[in-house]
Amino acid sequence: MTRERRKPKKINQFRRKKRRPCFFCVEKKELDYKDINFVKRFITDRGKIAPRRISGCCALHQRMVAKVVKRTRQLGLVPYMVE
């Protein structure tokens, strides 16, 4: 009697996940520097601007997010660094 050896199934570990759509493109929401709680969504716990892969924005809106975060920092609404 011969046993058939089954090959283990290959797990496709390099398969890319489907990118979620941009929040601003879907919701048609405007970004305003005066809405501090919304701006803080795009800042990490260390005070850095969150990258695109984390914030979920397209390139156009990520540039807008960066400008708004920098503007809020300059006005003193959001700190530059969190200690």
- Number of domains the chain contains: 1
43: which strand partners?
49
- What pLDDT score does 69 carry? 95
Q: Is residue 7 part of a domain?
A: no
CATH of the domain at 47: 4.10.640.10
Q: Is residue 83 part of a domain?
A: no
Q: Is residue 42 part of a domain?
A: yes
DSSP H helices in 3-80: 23-27, 36-39, 52-55, 59-75
Q: Is residue 27 part of a domain?
A: yes
* Mean pLDDT (whole number) for 4-18: 71
Measured between alpha carbons, how far is 27 from 47 in angstroms, rounded to an integer?
25
Measured between alpha carbons, how far is 43 from 19 in angstroms, rounded to an integer?
20
**Domain ranges, residue 49:** 23-75
Q: Report the predicted TM-score, pTM, of the whole model to 2 decimal places.
A: 0.73
Question: Which amino acid is located at 13 in the chain?
Answer: Q
The rounded percent of the chain whose pLDDT value lies above 90 is: 51
Q: Is residue 1 part of a domain?
A: no
Q: Is residue 10 part of a domain?
A: no
Predicted confidence (pLDDT) per residue in 23-59, tens digit: 888 988 889 999 999 999 999 999 999 999 888 899 9
- What pLDDT score does 18 carry? 74
- What pLDDT score does 27 carry? 87
